Chain A
Amino acid sequence: MADLELDQAVEIAPGVYWVGFDDEAAGLRCNPYLILDGDEAVFIEPGSVPHFPIVLRKVLSVVDPRRIKTIIVSHQDPDLCAAIPRFEEIIGPDLKIATHSRAAILIQHYGLRSPFYHVDQNGWRLTLKSGRELKFIFAPYLHFPGMFMTYDPVTKILFSGDLFGAFSYDWSLYAGEYYDEAMKAFHENYMPAREILARAMAKLDGLEINLIAPQHGSIIRDNPRRYIDILRNLDCGDYMLD
C-alpha cells in the first residue's frame, strides 16, 4: 500500500475522512472524522484547541464547512470538544451538537452557541437529509456515564469514541502488529471494569463492522472481531488493585 500522506485528510472509506493531527509529541493521538453525504457533512469528535489549526486545514480541504450540520461528540472531554466553539464560528448557525444528555450538561461549559441533539432522547439515531441513518450504541461508563459509539450502516464503520483507543508513541493511522498491547494499556487505565466493557462489546455482536475508528490510537481494519474479543475479556480498572 502506498504511504499515507498524514499531513492531508485521508479518505478511510468512500466519503469518510480522517482529519486528525499526527502529533508526534502526544502519546494519546486524537482522531477527528468527517462523513460527507451529498451536500451535508457530519463532523465526529472535532478535537482539542492545540490541534484546531491543523484539523481545520484538513476539514477545509475536503468540505465547505457550512455543509457541516452536525457535530457528534461521544463524551465531554477537552481532547474532542474544546475546539467546538472555534468551529462554530466557521461553520455557521445551522449546526447542532449530537451527544448524550449526560454529556451535554457538561459540554455547555465550553461556551457553545449551537443547540444540542440529545441522542438518548431521539431514538439513538440521527437521520441525515438524504435519509442515511447513523445509529448510536450506548456504552455507559466507558469511560463516561453518557458515552456512546456511532455506527454508519452505509460504510459499516464503527466510530467508537474512546473504546478501542490506545496509547501510541509509535503511532500509525492503521493498527499494526502490536496494537492490541497499546489498546490494552489504554483500557486498563481508563475503563472501569471488565463486566462493563464486556456488556458494551456484546452490543457489537451481530453488527457488520468493516472498520473501527476510535478517537484515540489507530483505525482497526484487519479482523475487527479479534479486537472486540480482546476487550470483551480484558480485566481493567484500578479497583482490582485494592
Chain B
Amino acid sequence: MDAYKDLISMVVRREMGVLGPEKTLALLPEAGIRVDAKGEVLSYTGPGREVLDKLLRLFGERYGLWAVVACKIAVLKEAARQNLPLPDILGTK
C-alpha cells in the first residue's frame, strides 16, 4: 500500500454512508481492495492512484454520478493537503 491508502479508506467509509455497507463492500474486490468489516482498508493491488481511480469509476458506473460526487470534495481536499496527484476521474472539476 502507498500514500493513497487514506484516500481510498475515505472513499470506502463515505460510500458505506451513502450507498450502504452491503453495496460498498460487494464492489471492492473488483477494484482489488480488501477491507475489514468496518471498511478499514487492509490491502490493495497496484498503484494507489490507479486503484482509487478504478474504485471511483466503478462506483460511478454501478450507482451513478452521485456516488462519485458524494466523495469528490473530501478527496480533492485531502489530496491537496497531502500533495498527491489526483486520480484521472477527479482531474477536472
Contacts and interface: CB of A to CB of B under 8 A. Distances in A.
Contact of B74 (A170, A178, A188): A188
Contact of B16 (A27, A178, A235, A241): A178
Given A167-B66, A241-B93, A180 B77 contact: no
B77 A181 contact: no
Interface stretch (B17-25, B27-35, B40-48, B50-58): B17-25
B14 A181 contact: yes
B18 A189 contact: no
Given A167-B18, A179-B17, A184 B76 contact: no
A166 interface: yes
B13 interface: yes
Interface residues of B, number: 24
A169 interface: yes
B90 to A, nearest CB: 10
Nearest to B19: A169
Contacts of A166: 17-18
16 contacts: A167-B70, A168-B18, A169-B66, A170-B18, A170-B22, A178-B16, A179-B17, A181-B16, A182-B70, A185-B71, A185-B74, A188-B73, A188-B74, A189-B70, A241-B77, A241-B80
